Amino acid sequence: MITLRLARHAMNTRFELVLSGVAEAPLRAAGEEALDEIQRLEDRLSLFRPTSEIARLNRHAAEGPVKVSPPVFALLCQAQQLAAATDGAFDPTIGPLMRAWGFHGARGRLPEPAVLAAARACVGMNNVLFDETDFTVCFARSGVTLDLGAIGKGYAIDCAVERLREAGVTSAFIHGGTSSCHGLGTMPEGRSWTAGVFEPAAAGTSARESPTAETLLAEVPLRDESLGVSAVWGKAFRAGGQRFGHVLDPRAGEPVQRAALAAVALPSATESDALSTALLVLGEPGLETLARLRPKLRALVLLPAADVETSRCVSRGIDLCSHAA
């Protein structure tokens, strides 16, 4: 049995792939094709590439219907369904808010009240209109901006895994920037693949800013299953003695406050990516909300230190490390 490790930079992060099989040449070819697929999707989905389908929608869809490819149309329809199912806790029209808070290409800033109000008026998937007859999309008002940052990597992993399956690969693990991963089949020895969920360092009571001292919260077994992790680390800034993270609540127009980290395990990486963001927004009550939506969901939420008395981490179907339970 041969094990290969491949990696590729795409979607502003590093995708890593571990594959196992009996012959190196076809295994490597399958892995490279899977990573090529991720780069092709970046060309279609990137908010920041002027030639992408999403960038073209953001420029022209307020003027009238814009035709997109069937896969992108299907992804946007799925995103609309997830936005509705989570009552807007996940919403890919969050682009105006990300820009208002300075998180597009920068570390953030406090927005002026008028700027924030104008951005909030443009958020909501009800502003995105679909025509299935010709795969066109239009915006109900100017200023709407799609940002697939909370679903794009998961979708790319799903498509990459599909390429691996088509090539006959039955054992692989792929992750994109540690925020979204999938375990295909089992490891060569028959055990499930395992993904670690780590506490973001800045979530601790010591207010550490570096993620180098992360604490393991859980090891999640994955067998033909994906794990999405959303957290308040990454881009962040301080103002008035308060720390503002880069994940925003689309409904309130402000950085999330109810959780420091959320993780969701589901068969679909697209869904686990989007719903981990929704769970980060919803906090602990979101565990039951999302379980009603997806009964097989496994998830955990790390609560902000100020909001807890004894247990800081709450889970559903995921065994926590002893120090986190």
User: Comparing 234-238, 242-246, 261-265, which segment has the lowest mean pLDDT?
Assistant: 234-238
Over 50: is that where the pLDDT of 252 sits?
yes
Over 80: is that where the pLDDT of 290 sits?
yes
May I ask the CATH class of domain 192-316? Answer: alpha beta
Query: For the residues 95-114, what does the mean pLDDT come to?
Result: 90
Interval 273-282: pLDDT, tens: 999 999 999 9
Give the per-residue pLDDT at 241.
82
Question: Which is nearest to 247 in space by CA: 238, 257, 255, 258?
Answer: 255
Over 90: is that where the pLDDT of 286 sits?
yes
Classify domain 53-139 at the CATH superfamily level. Answer: ApbE-like superfamily (1.10.3980.10)
Interval 33-44: pLDDT, tens: 999 999 999 999
Give the per-residue pLDDT at 213.
53
3-state secondary structure the chain: CEEEEEEEEECCEEEEEEEEECCHHHHHHHHHHHHHHHHHHHHHHCCCCCCCHHHHHHHHCCCCCEECCHHHHHHHHHHHHHHHHCCCCCCCCCHHHHHHCCCCCCCCCCCCHHHHHHHHCCCCHHHEEEECCCCEEEECCCCCCCCCCCCHHHHHHHHHHHHHHHCCCCEEEEEECCCEEEEEECCCCCCCEEEEEEECHHHCCCCCCCHHHCEEEEEEEECCEEEEEEECCCCEEEECCEEEECCEECCCCEECCCCCEEEEEECCHHHHHHHHHHHHHHCCCHHHHHHHHCCCCEEEEECCHHHCCCCCEEEECCCECCCCC
- Of residues 69 and 104, the one with the higher pLDDT is 69
Interval 1-59: pLDDT, tens: 899 999 999 999 999 999 999 999 999 999 999 999 999 999 999 999 999 999 999 99
Please give the share of the chain, as a percent, with pLDDT higher than 70.
93
Give the per-residue pLDDT at 304.
82
Interval 185-238: pLDDT, tens: 999 999 999 999 998 765 433 333 444 457 899 999 999 999 999 998 767 888
User: Can 1-47+148-185 and 192-316 be said to share one CATH topology?
Assistant: yes
Interval 312-322: pLDDT, tens: 899 999 999 97
Domain boundaries, the chain: 1-47+148-185, 53-139, 192-316
CATH number belonging to the domain at 1-47+148-185, selected among 2.60.420.10, 3.10.520.10, 3.40.50.10860, 3.40.50.970: 3.10.520.10
**Cβ atoms within 10 Å of 3's Cβ, excluding its own:** 14
Query: For the residues 156-176, what does the mean pLDDT come to?
Result: 98
